[in-house]
């Protein structure tokens, strides 16, 4: 796929987790002293302030942000990451049971900037994020993780609820597409069908779904239904790229990261 402008410019010298990932994986800077210094500083900042219970600020959103940042940087898990995942997963299970938890229930939009999740019902936001992070940190086969995925896939009441709430569906879909089994189960296929009904001829999903996040999520799948939507969406990317190589009206580095990652997943870049 021939883009009109160099999409990598925005990442040069970036010290964000997404920027460091791009500089390592796409710009080939991993062996440079500058990248290593920037990497060390960012990882130190990501781990900073971790509490004895292994959360950050006993906040769901802050802990999600730190774990996602660590996924983009250190990649492999360690004991501190494992303990943080345990805190997040236990918090999710308590929330699902209706227990009181010591975490924020009100989430502001800016708390999710740079994350692959959107503002939704707090339970589905937490569930989607906990499953997503568990899967990408190689805990996708843990019995407790599988049991939650199975419940989502088999409970018709949950499915019906998700079809009426596209934001919640999106957060659960993010967790489905990174799981080697549940990316191919009925709940994922049903979500893709719903997305197809929302997509316009211009390749966007209107106000229902965030464009760049949806492109990135669908690019994790190999299905004819997802490919048909991506074909229209990728044409939209060609039309809307800025001269500096980025996409979007704000959060351009993050949006560009999502676009490049999707294009590379499909072997188009």
Sequence length of the chain is 269
Q: Which has the minimum average pLDDT: 108-112, 115-119, 245-249?
A: 108-112
253 pLDDT above the threshold of 70: yes
d(CA 249, CA 124): 27
Confidence of residue 98 (pLDDT cuts 50, 70, 90): low
Distance in angstroms (rounded) separating the CA atoms of residues 56 and 194: 35
**Structure-token match 């997943």, residue found:** 265
Over range 28-46, report the average pLDDT.
Answer: 98
Closest CA to 175 of 231, 239, 220, 143: 220
pLDDT at position 189 over 50: yes
Judge whether residue 252 has pLDDT over 70.
yes
Q: Is the pLDDT of residue 42 over 70?
A: yes
* Band (94; pLDDT cuts 50, 70, 90): confident
C-alpha–C-alpha distance, residues 40 and 262, integer Å: 27
Confidence of residue 107 (pLDDT cuts 50, 70, 90): low
**Vertex 61: Cα angle to 92 and 196 (nearest 5):** 80
CA nearest to 137, candidates 78, 198, 208, 219 = 78
pLDDT attached to residue 104: 41
Give the residue ranges of DSSP H helices in 99-142: 122-136
Whether the per-residue pLDDT at 37 is higher than 60: the answer is: yes
Is the distance from CB of 166 to CB of 196 less than 8 angstroms? no
Residue 102 pLDDT: 41
On the question of pLDDT at 100 being above 70, the answer is no
Domain boundaries, the chain: 49-197
What pLDDT is stored for residue 105 in this prediction? 43
- What global pTM score does this model have? 0.94
pLDDT of residue 97: 77
Pairwise CA distance, residues 54 & 233, whole Å? 39
């Amino acid at each position: 796929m021939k883009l009109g402008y160099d999409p990598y410019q925005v990442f040069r010298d970036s010290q964000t987790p997404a920027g460091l990932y791009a500089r390592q994986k796409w710009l080939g800077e991993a062996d440079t002293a500058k990248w290593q210094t920037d990497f060390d500083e960012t990882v130190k900042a990501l781990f900073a302030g971790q509490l004895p219970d292994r959360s950050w600020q006993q906040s769901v959103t802050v802990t999600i942000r730190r774990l996602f940042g660590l996924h983009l940087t250190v990649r492999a898990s360690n004991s501190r990451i494992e303990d943080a995942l345990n805190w997040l997963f236990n918090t999710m299970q308590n929330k699902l049971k209706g227990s009181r938890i010591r975490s924020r229930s009100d989430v502001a939009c800016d708390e999710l900037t740079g994350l692959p999740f959107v503002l939704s019902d707090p339970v589905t936001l937490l569930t989607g994020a906990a499953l997503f992070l568990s899967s990408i940190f190689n805990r996708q086969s843990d019995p407790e993780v599988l049991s939650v995925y199975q419940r989502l896939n088999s409970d018709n009441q949950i499915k019906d609820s998700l079809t009426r709430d596209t934001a919640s569906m999106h957060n659960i879909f993010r967790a489905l597409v990174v799981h080697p089994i549940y990316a191919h189960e009925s709940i994922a296929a049903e979500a893709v069908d719903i997305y197809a009904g929302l997509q316009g001829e211009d390749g966007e999903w209107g106000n229902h779904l965030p464009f760049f996040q949806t492109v990135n999520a669908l690019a994790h799948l190999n299905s004819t239904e997802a490919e048909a939507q991506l074909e229209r969406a990728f044409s939209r990317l060609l039309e809307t790229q800025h001269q500096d190589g980025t996409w979007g009206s704000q959060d351009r580095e993050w949006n560009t990261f999502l676009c490049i990652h999707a294009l590379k997943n499909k072997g188009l870049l």
